[in-house]
A = this chain, B = another copy of it.
Amino acid sequence: MKAVCIMSGGMDSAVCAFIAKSMYYDIIALHFDYCQRTMDRERQCFNQLCDDLNVVQKIIINADFIAQIGGNSLTDLSLTIRENALDNNEIPNSYVPYRNGIFLSIAAAVAQRYNAQALFIGVVQEDSSGYPDCSEDFIHKIQAAMNAGTGENFTIHTPLVHLAKAEIVQKALELGVPLDHTYSCYQNNDKPCGVCDSCLLRAKGFALAKTQDPIIK
């Protein structure tokens, strides 16, 4: 049984892929480059994780069109990534328009092409920045759409969707995920900024799990 695992190089999608592995899926690892600020570091982590997971196939998609469409602070350097602002309930400008919809649609094409039965995506609904394309409702609906549009019967697995970040860290430790091969910062390639939403959420997870994050020196 094969599963297409969308893997950014971040912690959540890494844990998600290790969960797929623990379910005995053969993993087709799918990564997207889209000129995001931390593209190089994320791709490096993705490649390391592919080795760790012993994936059967590795696909890197050039999704530069996401930066072409723009309207988000991960690809548009003229926008400022908000800092120390996790309590703000507005959807931040780090929201990339319909990114997970695009990623899952391409993943569906890959799944159909290579006869995979399942897709895995590491969306987190609650302990997050509130992006609409991370909700369970969205996932149910896009699963229905992709099955109608491909004639297949894929299942999208979202094992993290209702987990808190600390539970994700805990899961990573249980499964032996090499967390030093993951990266979450929105801003810097070399060293986590510590103040973007993604760094703050990750730090909160490690603090509550009472564990040291190996990428923080």
Contacts and interface: CB of A to CB of B under 8 A. Distances in A.
Given A141-B141, A142-B149, A144-B141, A62 B61 contact: no
Given A68-B61, A145-B142, A98 B108 contact: yes
A141 B148 contact: yes
A109 B70 CA distance: 9
Interface residues of A, number: 41
A114 to B, nearest CB: 8
Interface string A86-107: 0000010000111111101110
Interface of A: 59, 61-66, 68-71, 91, 96-102, 104-106, 108-110, 112-113, 132-133, 135, 137-138, 141-142, 144-146, 148-151
Given A65-B106, A132-B148, A133-B149, 15 more contacts: A61-B68, A97-B108, A97-B110, A98-B105, A98-B108, A98-B150, A100-B149, A101-B105, A101-B150, A102-B102, A102-B109, A104-B105, A132-B149, A138-B145, A141-B145
